[in-house]
Chains A and B, each alone.
Chain A
Amino acid sequence: MDPVFLMPKGIFVFIVYFSITALIVGVVAVLKIFWKETHDKNVW
């Protein structure tokens, strides 16, 4: 019989919201860096 310790509900809900928010922030940040680099340095 495996030992049991369920992930607390609050932690699970936090992970869901935090990870989605973090991914949104990441996408925006990368797009910003991309815009800055291509706009300023004309890399293409």
Chain B
Amino acid sequence: MSIMTLMASWVTGNTTMSAPEMSYELGVWGFIGYSGAAFGLFFFAPIAKRIKQILPQGLTSGDFMRLRFGKPAWIVFILVSTSYLIVFLVTQGMAGGILLEALSGINYTFGMSQVFVVCILYTLMGGMRAVIGTDFIQAMIILITLLIVAIAAFINVPPTTIYDQVVANSPSHMNLLLPAGLLFAWNTTLWCFGEIFHGNIWWQRIYAQREEVTVRSFYISGAIWFFVPIVTGLLALYAIAQNLLVPQVNMVFPIVASTLLGKGGAVLVLIIVFSSLTSTADSLMASTSDFLAQDVYRQMINPKANDRQVLVVSKALIVILGVISLLIALGKFNSIYKFFMLTGPLVGSTVWPIILGVYWKEASAKGALWAMLIGTLAGELSYFFYATYSSAVVGTVVSGIVMVLCTTIRPDKFDWNVFKEFNLAVLAEEE
């Protein structure tokens, strides 16, 4: 069950919509680069085990940042995390709206709004329990349907023919030395490291798992997920091989499927993408509202709040987050991926503070604070003034340098007992 929920959370609307989009633009590097996101799960596995050992009673990723690095770094982390989660949520709604418009002609605004309304309602009614239950069912639907589309596609046009036609029509799509492709692969991998390492979605699952299954579930879910963007990306090469008319890069996958399999294909894609983006959107809403309710409401506004009050605030936050995301998604962007890439530096800048904070006693709190601030700033500047696909690389590298420099100049002497005391206090409160 742990494996399925981890994998379903990682098979997002972006995996099924943006992986083909990037393959359509960058060729083989589109899907190779996107599959690199699986390494985030592999590398996070040992860190997850360590987190489970030092902070078994934690509730959110913010708990770790607060206890390990203090209030200033924690506040910056909350801002970084919330900004990322809202943009992520927006992309899921946008993907749903675009999909409905491409396949059924339903107006984008109406379709996108329906995605948010449905997700808000069932997250409100079922909470995290419903999210985890639906995650499993959705992941199975996604994988089985994707396999049906892919097998049908490659029976229809053999891979050798697709290869010959892509080389004839657009050889750069098979070029392994394409500079933009190489940059994209590095950027996506580091960006996804950031998404996983800081994300409350993943931390909540660590806290909920048994320690003995933590590492295994991250490895297995990563190994299965690795092939999902490859298969969806390969389908985009069919569009190039067959010179399909793609009016908007976001629509590659739905158009390929409906061309190959007619109306049946369109329905299958609708099922896949809807399952993937709703499973991610509900996870995002549940984990973000929980994160803000625990870290902002309980820790900052009302420390004496009981569980019931926190639950009420959490539900209100689900609605607020959904409405904010819906309003932003009204501005339909041409490329979901490029819009989402704005968050690359935000999450990339949290990678080193978390890795070093988990293992290195001397890792400094000021270092973590400045690493997130300077890393984010450098990455965003790179996004706007250098290259879109460089933002996460720059954000991650700069934050790593800042973190190590600050720690080397003025190391902290962190007392690991802080975590122990926190765990005991939570247990005492529960009793």
Interface residue range, chain A: 20 to 34
Kindly provide the distance from the CB of A19 to the nearest chain B CB, expressed in whole angstroms: 4
Interfacial residues of chain A within 2-28, with CB under 8 A of chain B in the complex: 2-7, 9, 12-13, 15-17, 19-20, 22-24, 26-27
Q: A6-B167, A13-B163, A34-B1 are in contact. Are A20 and B231 (CB under 8 A)?
A: yes
| Contact present for B160 and A37 (CB under 8 Å) | no
Contact among A13, A19, A43 with B160 in the assembled complex (CB-CB below 8 Å): A13
When each residue 159-172 of chain B gets 1 if its CB lies under 8 Å from chain A and 0 otherwise, what string results? Answer: 11001100100011
Q: A19-B231, A20-B154, A30-B4 are in contact. Are A12 and B178 (CB under 8 A)?
A: no
The residue in chain A whose Cβ has the minimal distance to the Cβ of B229 is A19
Chain B contributes a number of interface residues (CB within 8 A of A) equal to: 36
Q: Verify if B48 is at the interface (C-beta below 8 Å from A).
A: no
Interfacial residues of chain B within 103-156, with CB under 8 A of chain A in the complex: 136, 140, 143-144, 146-147, 150-151, 154
Kindly provide the distance from the CB of B146 to the nearest chain A CB, expressed in whole angstroms: 7
Q: A4-B171, A23-B227, A26-B224 are in contact. Are A43 and B1 (CB under 8 A)?
A: yes
The residue in chain A whose Cβ has the minimal distance to the Cβ of B139 is A30
Q: Kindly count the residue-residue contacts between A and B in the assembled complex, taking CB atoms under 8 Å apart.
A: 83
| Contact present for B234 and A23 (CB under 8 Å) | no
Kindly provide the distance from the CB of A32 to the nearest chain B CB, expressed in whole angstroms: 11
What is the CA–CA distance of A4 and B174 in the complex, to the nearest angstrom?
A: 9
- On chain B, the residues within 8 Å of A17 by CB distance are 159
| Contact present for B1 and A16 (CB under 8 Å) | no
Q: Verify if B406 is at the interface (C-beta below 8 Å from A).
A: no
- On chain B, the residues within 8 Å of A6 by CB distance are 167, 171, 174-176
Contact among A9, A19, A29 with B234 in the assembled complex (CB-CB below 8 Å): A19
| Contact present for B176 and A5 (CB under 8 Å) | yes
Q: A2-B172, A43-B1 are in contact. Are A19 and B230 (CB under 8 A)?
A: yes
| Contact present for A37 and B224 (CB under 8 Å) | no
Q: A2-B175, A3-B177, A27-B144 are in contact. Are A16 and B159 (CB under 8 A)?
A: yes
What is the CA–CA distance of A5 and B28 in the complex, to the nearest angstrom?
A: 12
What is the CA–CA distance of A6 and B334 in the complex, to the nearest angstrom?
A: 29
The residue in chain A whose Cβ has the minimal distance to the Cβ of B28 is A7
Contact among A3, A13, A20, A23 with B224 in the assembled complex (CB-CB below 8 Å): A23
- On chain A, the residues within 8 Å of B144 by CB distance are 27
The residue in chain A whose Cβ has the minimal distance to the Cβ of B27 is A7
| Contact present for A23 and B228 (CB under 8 Å) | yes
When each residue 224-255 of chain B gets 1 if its CB lies under 8 Å from chain A and 0 otherwise, what string results? Answer: 10111011001000000000000000000000
What is the CA–CA distance of A34 and B139 in the complex, to the nearest angstrom?
A: 12
What is the CA–CA distance of A5 and B177 in the complex, to the nearest angstrom?
A: 6
Q: Verify if B179 is at the interface (C-beta below 8 Å from A).
A: yes
| Contact present for A15 and B230 (CB under 8 Å) | yes
| Contact present for A12 and B159 (CB under 8 Å) | yes
| Contact present for A16 and B171 (CB under 8 Å) | no
| Contact present for A26 and B143 (CB under 8 Å) | yes
Kindly provide the distance from the CB of A24 to the nearest chain B CB, expressed in whole angstroms: 6
What is the CA–CA distance of A21 and B277 in the complex, to the nearest angstrom?
A: 25
- On chain B, the residues within 8 Å of A13 by CB distance are 159-160, 163
What is the CA–CA distance of A19 and B234 in the complex, to the nearest angstrom?
A: 10
Q: Verify if B223 is at the interface (C-beta below 8 Å from A).
A: yes
What is the CA–CA distance of A4 and B146 in the complex, to the nearest angstrom?
A: 32
Q: A6-B171, A19-B230, A20-B154 are in contact. Are A30 and B224 (CB under 8 A)?
A: yes
Contact among B136, B164, B176, B223 with A7 in the assembled complex (CB-CB below 8 Å): B176
- On chain A, the residues within 8 Å of B226 by CB distance are 22
Beyond A2-B178, A6-B174, A15-B234, 13 additional pairs, beta carbon < 8 A? A5-B177, A7-B175, A17-B159, A19-B227, A19-B230, A20-B147, A20-B150, A20-B154, A29-B224, A30-B4, A30-B143, A30-B224, A34-B1
Shortest 3 CB-CB contacts between residues of A and residues of B: A26-B224, A16-B159, A3-B177
